[in-house]
Structure 1
Amino acid sequence: MVPFLELSEEEKHQVRIKYTEYINGLNDEVIVSDGHYSFMETVAFTEADGELYDIFIYLYCSPENLKERYALSEKNGKFAGESIESLRQWQEFEINNLREECHRRNKDFYVVSDNEEEQNKFFDFLSLLREGFSSYDLATDICNQIMEQFNKQDILYMVDGDKTIIIQDSYRFCCNGKTKIFDGDFYTGYQSFLFEKELQTASIDKSKIAEITINNEVYDIVASNNYVVLSSGIKDLWSDIANAKNLGTIFASPYISADVKYYVVKQLREHGYTIFAYGDSKIDLYMLREADKGFLYIGKRISRSLKNESLSGLVPIYDHSLVILADEDEEVQADIAICKSNSGISGSRLAAAHVRLGEKIGRHIAAVFPEKNTSILVLERGGRFFW
């Protein structure tokens, strides 16, 4: 028998299909199978894999740790020579494409970190899955409740909560809460599970609710229409915010992950609804892409979680208030004074002031506008200096 690693790619593909047929023939209640989506650019995942499994869990470890493990592995040592950036791109490729495969098939997708502190919590999460929890099923339940309340004749607006329908992050503002759970920008149901555990010790300062600010850039658009707020925040807190600010229908739960939002919109559209969606960050991105029209609220600064994402097709909503950097930075004022025609300064010192001003403007633009699919028009009074 020829070892698997010595087979051609087509032969390996056929073996993988036969493996799924074997698994499908088993009568076990729960089957856990290990595998790869791809090996660098070579995709190992098959259509049969996508149809067979009900839940897909991606085990993430940092590219640095991955490189160290490959260096010690006989089987995968060939990847030890890859750069950290190359490994990061490989992981991003796997996560994005596997998530897309799950979305296409209405399957649950979760990203789990290899953080040792989370190991016991992961086993608790597996127990939750055994008990029947499903991101897709949660979305179905929300979708059914929405359909009972709204007819499909009118456009239905789906709106994110924190930093979209309101200016603040409700957890940070009303609970003085900070979390690192979403630092990996995965926003799957596993991160939602961890967040729900963290919120169990949260204390709500209800006196802060009166200070919550409605985001009129979004609210003024949706207020006179049928709209639903989907929030991954605290249910009781959002109920109080809705009452205090006269908001409409709200679904709030830490378990409303990026995938839940996506599936809510997908199912509503499958039932004939026209959906306009509004959000501000990665947790909203898949919902925005799936909607008939997606609006990305950027405000004064684009969300860090969207840094590496393509935002093509989305309609940006900016804070259109005038920004005058000289009002915020004394160094800018000093450089502007140097650049004025009556400053009497010329040569390298004048050129350096122009460069510093350009860099400050560039950094501000980079913080506000997405890196991809953006054009910048620069209007200049005079010449340009080069270093």
Structure 2
Amino acid sequence: MQAQTPNRHLNEPSVIEIIGLYGLPGSGKIFLLDQLKQELGREHFAFYEGSEVIAAIVPGGLDAFQKLEELEKVAWRQLAIDKIRKECASSGQVAVVAGHFMFWAESEETGCQVYTQNDLETFTHILYMDFPADVIAKRRLNDAKRIRLSVSVPHLLKWQQAEKEELRGLCRSHGILFSLLSSHPRLLNKASALLKNFRLHTETHNLFCAERTMDEAIGADLSQLETMLVMDADRTLAAEDTGALFWKAVSCSDALMEEGCPLKKLFGGPLGYSYTAFRQAMLLYEEAADDEKFDALCQDVASMVTMHPEFVSLMQVVAEKKHIGALIVTCGLRRVWDKVLEREGLSKTVKVIGGGRIADNFIVTAAVKAALVTRLRDTHHMYVWAFGDSPLDLGMLSMAHQAIVVVGEKQSRSKTMDHALTSAFDSGRLLARQVVLPSNAPPRLDTTTLPLVKLTEQGFVDSVLRRRSKDADIQVHHATGRNAAKLLMTPMRNASVAGPALRNSHHQVGWYLAVELLAKLLGIEEYPIPHVQGHNTSGYRLLHEKHTSIVALMRGGEPMALGVSDAFPHALFVHATRPSDVMLHHLQGQHAVVLVDFVQHIRSLHASIRIVVAAGVVQSQSVPSLTQALAGHADLSIVALRLSDNKFTGTGTIDTGNRLFNTTHLP
């Protein structure tokens, strides 16, 4: 990912929107400026003709200015743009300034640039009137208001191309949004729509629009939804990059369009993947086609996209469940993915949050993706699964409860993702698994750091479909009735067993609960181990074992917790006598916590970590009261050796804690 340049479009009082309106002399800048005055009014906008501002501040007016040396002209031009900026800072209006970028006599080898450094530091947007050179030549010839030198159409075309290329490069290096205005019957509507958008749009406003759109998309089902699948689109749901396909389609339909994908040059430039860069991408799409042509191009691109069947299958299963929703959140073109989903019969159950046009009202950045997942998790209290393939997805993957990195063919996958993933893992910001599509592609990193999962495996599907309602009963997993449980519980119930023997019994129960119930509940992962015959083979361990915390409730809970620790030797082991002994650093970066008590305290430290309470015996009658007491604590389970209908509570000489440590004789 490219380093991001400072953003000039944050919602700060100090940022003043100054929009330049450029084009060749005779292109109609002043005519459009006058039309915009009538269309937009002067409440929010102030309109300036650059030459008039110069004439007003230079003693002797424009005639005197033309006689000055070039350095003196530069000084006055800088004063003119400074005057406009100060006036708009005072009024709060958005300035629209018609001006010139360069003058170029046909007899000269190169043009004379008339922009200043102050212009580059002041303008936030520049619109360029990109009219056909022959049209401009006729306008110059027929201009009754001023005498213009005769210039050939080839020279006007060369002049225009030079201005567009230089302006586009300067704008990107200075964080200025740039767009072309083409000759069109609806030019005024297009220009006024852009100006209104420029006036209102900030990163804060952009996020507000994205959140509102997401809330409206899921609003009708909000009360039923417990789980949300949030998926990136390009190179996640399908191998194709729809942005590249779009620009290939544009170049095929427009002989004048340069070949290659302009997005690659944009995001590979000084703007990187910043908010400004994505806004600039939106303006490129606006330049490329009007609404009708854009829709047709999106249809062509959608027809070239083949969704991974594994994702189609998963979405079809999810569509049958009222408690699970699915969203595509894409930095790419919403319209393309709307059409892809419609073709797959998924458009009614899977919503697309994305942009691409001014009419969408927002663009999706990496920060927006992360914020939407956070909103689903913290505001709407949903359990979130996130699927993504690139560094732009790391934020949302980190914010989700479950993160799945989608890995494609080696030659087409993101080249920077390995380094970004390693950095996220090392910093503790991310815990994830990977799915390889197609299945014969090599995995990223290694399957120890990034364990493999298959979207079609029943265990994975079941984990996605699991109910997580705040009002649902706590999940109790137990071994009651199994022969192993009968054997293991015997010494625990035998009053004559105490001290080391009883501690060993509890240790065995902890180990059994870990390998029999916890491993099934939390999942296991495959990893390579050396075989006794000298080759490597597959071994298994708890999924995310290094990111699991085992909390031993002192003193009686320690023997059983040590048994769990024996089964999961790489898990973090924490001794706790009281809730405050469990601290935030015991949970940060962890995937799950296995404990005996302190559920309320754990939730106060970490709202979404998975909690499993391990116990030898759970009274059947206590489950409803536990459910009521712990309502709202999603992702909470209990594993127990057995359920019991016996309400007996041991005290004194028959108290379990006293028997474990031979303290039955103490008062």
Q: Distance in 1 between matches of 2:388 and 2:314?
A: 13
- Among 312, 324, 331, the residue aligned to 1:232: 331
Partner of 2:276: 190
- 1:208 deviates by 4.8
- 1:224 deviates by 1.9
Matched, 1:294 2:403: yes
Give runs of aligned pairs for residues 1-387 of structure 1, distance below 5 A: 30-31=13-14, 116-118=170-172, 122=176, 130-133=199-202, 134-151=205-222, 153-176=225-248, 178=261, 179-180=263-264, 181-183=266-268, 186-200=272-286, 201=288, 204=297, 206-225=299-318, 226-247=325-346, 248-254=350-356, 255-271=363-379, 272-301=381-410, 302-309=413-420, 310-312=423-425, 313-319=431-437, 321-322=439-440, 368-369=444-445, 373=449
TM-score w.r.t. length of structure 1 = 0.51
Q: Distance in 2 between matches of 1:303 and 1:288?
A: 16
Partner of 2:137: none
* Structure having the larger proportion of residues in helix: 1
Q: Distance in 1 between matches of 2:311 and 2:279?
A: 29
* Largest Rg, 1 or 2: 2
User: Cα 1:218–1:239, aligned 2, differ >3 Å: closer, same or farther?
Assistant: closer
Q: Distance in 2 between matches of 1:136 and 1:279?
A: 20
- 1:192 deviates by 0.9
Unaligned runs of 5+ residues in structure 2 are 1-11, 17-167, 180-194, 249-259, 319-324, 357-362, 426-430, 452-526, 536-667
Q: Distance in 1 between matches of 2:206 and 2:332?
A: 16
- 1:162 deviates by 0.8
Question: Which secondary structure state, in structure 1, belongs to the residue aligned with residue 240 of structure 2?
Answer: coil
Q: Which amino acid aligns with 1:249?
A: K
User: Cα 1:291–1:117, aligned 2, differ >3 Å: closer, same or farther?
Assistant: same
Question: Which secondary structure state, in structure 2, belongs to the residue aligned with residue 275 of structure 1?
Answer: strand
- 1:273 deviates by 1.3
Q: Distance in 1 between matches of 2:285 and 2:177?
A: 19
- 1:228 deviates by 0.9
Question: Contact 2:385 / 2:402 at 8 angstroms: preserved in 1?
Answer: yes
1:237-280 deviation line (CA, Å, top 9, x unaligned): 23222222223211221411111111111111122111111111
- 1:223 deviates by 3.1
Q: Distance in 2 between matches of 1:282 and 1:263?
A: 15
User: Cα 1:124–1:319, aligned 2, differ >3 Å: closer, same or farther?
Assistant: closer
- 1:282 deviates by 1.5
User: Cα 1:263–1:370, aligned 2, differ >3 Å: closer, same or farther?
Assistant: farther
Question: Which secondary structure state, in structure 1, belongs to the residue aligned with residue 392 of structure 2?
Answer: helix
Aligned residues: 233
Q: Which amino acid aligns with 2:374?
A: K
Q: Which has the higher contact order (CA 8 A, sep 6+)?
A: 1
1:12-40 deviation line (CA, Å, top 9, x unaligned): xxxxxxxxxxxxxxxxx82269xxxxxxx
User: Cα 1:379–1:190, aligned 2, differ >3 Å: closer, same or farther?
Assistant: farther
Q: Which amino acid aligns with 1:154?
A: E
Q: Which amino acid aligns with 1:306?
A: M
User: Cα 1:268–1:31, aligned 2, differ >3 Å: closer, same or farther?
Assistant: same
Q: Distance in 2 between matches of 1:189 and 1:153?
A: 31
Q: Distance in 2 between matches of 1:196 and 1:372?
A: 40
User: Cα 1:173–1:120, aligned 2, differ >3 Å: closer, same or farther?
Assistant: same
Q: Which amino acid aligns with 1:183?
A: G
User: Cα 1:130–1:372, aligned 2, differ >3 Å: closer, same or farther?
Assistant: farther
Q: Distance in 1 between matches of 2:220 and 2:268?
A: 36
- 1:199 deviates by 1.6
Q: CA RMSD in A?
A: 3.8
* Structure having the larger proportion of residues in strand: 2
1:299-326 deviation line (CA, Å, top 9, x unaligned): 2234223243135301111136446xxx
TM-score w.r.t. length of structure 2 = 0.31
Question: Contact 1:307 / 1:371 at 8 angstroms: preserved in 2?
Answer: no
Question: Contact 2:171 / 2:177 at 8 angstroms: preserved in 1?
Answer: no
Return structure 1 stretches of 4+ with deviation > 6 angstroms: 378-383
User: Cα 1:31–1:149, aligned 2, differ >3 Å: closer, same or farther?
Assistant: same
1:270-301 deviation line (CA, Å, top 9, x unaligned): 22111111111122110111011111101223
